[in-house]
Amino acid sequence: MSWYREHVAAVGRWSEKPGFAGILVYADNGLVDPWLVAQVIVESTTQLSPFVAVQPVYMHPYSAAKMVASIGHLYGRRLCLNIVAGASRTTSSP
């Protein structure tokens, strides 16, 4: 198991132990896919719900809904979505 996957699993277990209901899985194009991170969390915990940040600019809402439904069906676990409405713009000022 990779160190990153093991770290994600450990953080999920640490978060679940004091009774937290959810954990944010942010979307960063430079890291691994947030849906796979959510799957690791679901596999490593018993009740913790991943709260996946979704940017409609990068993922169509139907695809996001399909991922939530698939993980929910396979694992019997609730997933939450954080729909990021805006994106940062880097433009230079005149």
Confidence band of 83 (pLDDT split at 50, 70, 90):
confident
The pLDDT assigned to 1 comes to 61
**CB-CB neighbours of 55 under 10 Å:** 16
pLDDT, residue 6, reads 95
Q: pTM for this one?
A: 0.82
Ranges of beta strands (E only) in 6-77 are 22-25, 49-54
Name the one residue in this structure whose structure tokens are 């993922």. Answer: 59
Q: Could you read off the pLDDT of 17-68 as tens digits, one per residue?
A: 999 999 999 877 677 889 999 999 999 999 999 999 888 888 888 999 999 9
